[in-house]
Amino acid sequence: MQVGDQFAAARLWATSQAPYLATALFAMSFNPAPGLGTAGVDRHWRLYIDPAAADRWSVEELGSVLIHEVNHLIRAHADRAETLGVGPAEKTRFNVAADCEINDDLRDLQLPPGGVDPERFGFEPGGIAETYYILLESARSPMTAQCGSGAHGVRQPWERADLDDQAVEPVEAELIRQQLAAGIREAVQHGGHVPAGLERWARAFLQPAVDWRRELRAQIRAGINTVSGGVDYSYRRPSRRNGTPVGRAVILPALVQPLPTVAVVVDTSGSMSAAALERALAEIKGLLQSTSAVHTRLAVLACDTMIRTTQAVFSAAQVRLAGGGGTDMRVGLDAAFELRPRPDLVVVATDGFTPWPEQRPAGVVVVALIGEGPEPPRWARFVRVPVAADGAD
Amino acid sequence: MTSQATASQALAIAVQARQPVLLWGGPGTGKSAVIRSLGASLDLPVVTVIASLREPADFAGLPVVGADGSIRLAEPSWTRELLASGGGILFLDEITTAPPAVQAALLRVVLERVVGDICLPPEVSVVAAANPPDIAAGGWDLSPPLANRFCHLDWPVDTDRFLEALTSGWPTARLGQLENGSASDTAIKVKSALGGFLRSRPMLLYQMPEDVTSASRGWPSPRSWDMAATLWSTADALGHGDDVVLQLIAGCVGPGAARELLTWTRDADLPDPESVLADPSSFRLPERGDRQFAVLGALAAAVAANPTKERWEVAFQVVEQAVARGSADVAAVAARSLARCMPPGVDALPQAVGSLAPVMDRAGLLRRRRG
């Protein structure tokens, strides 16, 4: 039997299993690689298959292997390995980590026996290669993987750079990914079945996740600036240089730094995730201490359906989550804006399951929205804080 | 992944096209060095102004009281060299650490080259550099209006390039000469492609991101699309590859919109299914499998929209061509879609299907239909 025919049948089987991957599967070019023992891909989407291995596998098994290999290419494992600085010594470890990322999505397929998955090393499934790569550093069991430079970025001796006409250039690859991601989004919208990991990939590719820490920092900083102008130039007050010779001819602005007042309202109802709250508070605290707001006056309010504590000091340990009970942020925000001096900026940490004031409050409100709860009203800026620890990536 | 070589190519094009460009990179990664060497190789003076050390008046003009009591905006001293030489590169360093009022004052300088009451010569190119706000202590995010005036380029750390630069200096980007007329030819081509794309995706004309992080980079607006078109046609006229073009367009309108545009133009290059159906003999199948798949898919969709016996049989001729070229699997996918829209008056599947039967059988696709 011709290995080329076997390959065509396997690829056809693969497109019938995963129609949303068809473009990527057909973009791979096929090269027989006797002696390789398995299948592999290089960075330019050239696929290598050992005819002996193809003979050993059924059409379904080879088709599953094709889907596995194309996943390396779609998820750009070569570029990601390069970012981590993976060299010849680490390539197998990264390859295994990448295999773990892919294979927990392919359980419905018929991969040949001997493949790895996260459970084999005692890891949680659903993670990303970078996480597994770090975890695998201390793994004892021997690791073998041979998926080529398309999986770990390190060029292999059996890869053929001379086949220029087959190469998919990096830009082409990006465009193929774009098309795939759009196709997957559409398939999901029409109720099609797409593995969860691939769906996550498509969402992240089309709309890259923003680091919530960075976004929260930016929002609070912007809030402080809107309020007070931050450190800024102003003609309201004469410049100190006005007495100098230059100052007689030129009208100079002065540097002003009004002190903004910030209040933090923490939702302490039972529905809050303690770990996520802790991380959000640590971030808010760190930010308020480190940015221009060194001299910020700060008040902290703990609130569920009523105000529990008001304090001028800030420590996550002081915030105790009261079990059970609902939340009413109307009470919390009212209380915050009744403080004297009245705060210019109110930062709210909540899961969003709360009624909000109908009117825009008399100051800027930034919400650290913990988890997947409903969005606050449009007058508030908000940043989603993921509950899962690695959710920021 | 962006490489420094691509980024410096893109930078050189933006400077030559006189579009404002902003380099993002950590401190000490050689941003200033590359701009100075680019100025030297283009024979342009480089005037460096550190935005974070300046006051708004240094960009908006210093209000000066004249003898008659009128107030005029005096131009700062850094404009002198650019005015005297009639051109050059204005290099604004550290603009994200500049306070918001300074950023606001920069708005007119960056896009219109207006400083106070004077206008810098049109031959001045504006290049800015910034450290990402999470690196720079006390940095401010770029305000969305200012961000939208730049083509944003990432400036990565590149070990190989640095080692090369140690011995032989910073390599300068390949600079091309614009031939007369070539730029306007490509400009027409680019603008019609962009027009077609935005007509089919009107939502993408204006999309200001909701999060501050993305809004401080490139995002789609009529202005940034216009910049993207200029940069794209300049890059095309200079004969640069897709990687540089993608980088430049992504720098103006963001990576998502840029990829969608290039995917769209790539598909627009495929043969029109109706003309293939009208004249199948002149049709040549593309080389790569994914392009074959796209062409045959479009063909099957066109037949399904208007299934007549004649069109259906012509489509199978093309499928046969794919089988002959050794792409049985691609052909089989198309044949399956065509088989689903069999027009009235056809009683048997064409010859081509017979040659596809083995591969479909082995893939388990025939068995399933029988069972």
Whether chain B has a CB inside 8 Å of the CB on A360: the answer is no
Residue reference for tokens 């820490």: A213
Encode chain A in three state secondary structure: CCHHHHHHHHHHHHHHHCHHHHHHHHHCEEEECCCCCCEEECCCCEEEECHHHHHHCCHHHHHHHHHHHHHHHHCCHHHHHHHHCCCCCCHHHHHHHHHHHHHCCCCCCCCCCCCCCHHHHCCCCCCCHHHHHHHHHHCCCCCCCCCCHHHHCCCCCCCCCCCHHHCCCHHHHHHHHHHHHHHHHHHHHCCCCCCHHHHHHHHHHHCCCCCHHHHHHHHHHHHHHHHHCCCEEECCCCCHHHHCHHHHHECCCEEECCCCEEEEEEECCCCCCHHHHHHHHHHHHHHHHHCCHHHCEEEEEEECCCEEEEECCCCHHHCCCCCCCCCCHHHHHHHHHHCCCCCCEEEEEECCCCCCCCCCCCCEEEEEEECCCCCCCCCCEEEEECCCCCCCC
- The arithmetic mean of pLDDT across residues B331-350, rounded, is 85
Is the pLDDT at A314 greater than 60, yes or no? no
Is the pLDDT at B321 greater than 50, yes or no? yes
> What ipTM, to 2 d.p.?
0.80
Whether chain B has a CB inside 8 Å of the CB on A31: the answer is no
Q: How far is B155 from chain A (nearest CA, A)?
A: 14
Q: How high is the pLDDT of residue B165?
A: 75
**What pTM did the predictor assign?**
0.79
- Partners of A23 on chain B (C-beta within 8 Å) are 290, 293-294
Say which residue, A150 or A324, is predicted with more confidence. A150
Whether chain A has a CB inside 8 Å of the CB on B43: the answer is no
- The arithmetic mean of pLDDT across residues B134-150, rounded, is 77
Q: Do B359 and A12 touch (CB under 8 A)?
A: yes
- In contact, B96 and A214? CB cutoff 8 Å: no
Q: Do B1 and A82 touch (CB under 8 A)?
A: yes
- Partners of A253 on chain B (C-beta within 8 Å) are 55-57
Is the pLDDT at A230 greater than 60, yes or no? no
Question: Is residue B162 very low, low, confident or very high in pLDDT (cuts 50, 70, 90)?
Answer: confident
Residue A234 bridge partners (DSSP): A254
CB atoms < 10 A from the CB of B281, how many? 5
Is the pLDDT at B350 greater than 90, yes or no? no
Residue B334 φ/ψ region, left for φ over 0, alpha for ψ in the -120 to 50 degree band, beta for the rest: alpha
- Partners of A383 on chain B (C-beta within 8 Å) are 211
| Maximum distance among all Cα pairs of chain B, rounded to whole angstroms | 99
Please identify among residues 234-263 of chain B the ones whose CB lies closer than 8 Å to any CB of chain A. Answer: 241-243, 246, 255-256, 259-260, 262-263
Say which residue, A28 or B211, is predicted with more confidence. A28
How many residue pairs bridge chain A and chain B with CB atoms within 8 Å of each other? 147
Q: Do B243 and A170 touch (CB under 8 A)?
A: yes
Q: In what order do the strands lie in the sheet with A46-49?
A: A29-32, A46-49, A39-41
Q: How high is the pLDDT of residue A24?
A: 94
Q: How far is B157 from chain A (nearest CA, A)?
A: 11
B-chain residue closest to A254, CA distance: B55
- Partners of A1 on chain B (C-beta within 8 Å) are none
Question: Is residue A390 very low, low, confident or very high in pLDDT (cuts 50, 70, 90)?
Answer: very low
Whether chain A has a CB inside 8 Å of the CB on B329: the answer is yes
Task: Express each pLDDT in B219-267 by its tens digit.
Answer: 999 999 999 999 999 998 888 888 899 999 999 999 999 999 999 998 8
In angstroms, the CA A58 to CA A135 distance is 33
Question: Is residue A21 very low, low, confident or very high in pLDDT (cuts 50, 70, 90)?
Answer: very high
Question: Is residue A237 very low, low, confident or very high in pLDDT (cuts 50, 70, 90)?
Answer: low
Is the pLDDT at A155 greater than 60, yes or no? yes
Q: Do B326 and A79 touch (CB under 8 A)?
A: no
- In contact, B189 and B233? CB cutoff 8 Å: yes
- Partners of A212 on chain B (C-beta within 8 Å) are none
- Residue B161's nearest CA partner among B30, B36, B35, B41 is B30
Q: How high is the pLDDT of residue B94?
A: 87
Q: How high is the pLDDT of residue B19?
A: 93
